[in-house]
Amino acid sequence: METLERITRLAADQFGLETAAIGTDVPVSEYGVDSLGLLEFLFTLEEEFQVRFSPEPGADPQTLRGLAELVEQLLRSTLIPAQPRL
């Protein structure tokens, strides 16, 4: 999964960790990232992947794998043209 690998590299850079030290199924909070740090990371992902996350508090996954799945879902939804309403 290329998306997960990219997100893991971005997390390592942003959180100041080695890529190998990051578990993709571990909550981001386990790396000492607070809510502001997570928000900054989400902005980084939005810029990197050209997607927009939901503005609803708590709507975003808390693991890197969950974020990768959400990014891929958002990317797929932007590739499918909206169907006209009848």
Tokens linked to 36: 């502001």
Rounded to two decimals, what is the model's pTM? 0.81
More confident position, 81 or 41: 41
Domains and CATH numbers, the chain: 2-79 (1.10.1200.10)
Bridge partners (DSSP) of residue 63 are 27
Q: Distance from CA of residue 69 to its chain's centroid?
A: 8
- Give per-residue pLDDT as tens, 19-63: 999 999 999 889 888 888 888 999 999 999 999 987 776 667 889
Burial 17-45 (b: 16+ CB within 10 A, else e): eeeeebebeeebeebebeeeebeebbeeb
- Which pLDDT value is given to residue 59? 67
